[in-house]
Amino acid sequence: MKNFKLFTLVIAIAVVIVSCHLKRDKLVNSWKVTAVEPKETVSDSTKNAILANGTLTFTEDGHVTGYLLREITDGTYALTQKGKKLVIKDEVGTPYVCESTITDDQLILDTKEAKLTFSKI
């Protein structure tokens, strides 16, 4: 019985690792902001700047670069909760936590401030 529980635990861990890896594979790419749905008051100029310049590029080694409200030159990222949560840290280590939906050609990042939709470049 003990061996069965251990085997079940190992299989469960393997499933979680594979699931996160598959989401990470879909995330690794360059993305362009295509929609901004603010949850707080945002000026039209800020929203338009995000739409015009907003991009993120995720690499296999866990780094992210791009532009949202400001440039991200050497950030890092991590996917958790089977790819449903994305944490982006900027150059100084400030974490930005997002609920994430990742498909083959679309990325949706939902934060307390806004919901951003990206398309693969």
Q: What percent of the chain has pLDDT over 90?
A: 65
> Which amino acid appears at position 10 of this protein?
V
Segment 62-119, tens digit of pLDDT? 999 999 878 899 999 999 888 899 999 998 999 999 999 999 999 999 999 899 999 9
Model confidence, pTM: 0.78
Q: What is the 3-state secondary structure (H, E, C) of the chain?
A: CHHHHHHHHHHHHHHHHHHHHHHHHHHCEEEEEEEEEECCCCCHHHHHHHHHHCEEEECCCCEEEEECCCEEEEEEEEEEHHHCEEEEECCCCCEEEEEEEECCCEEEEECCCEEEEEEEC
pLDDT, mean of residues 40-54: 93
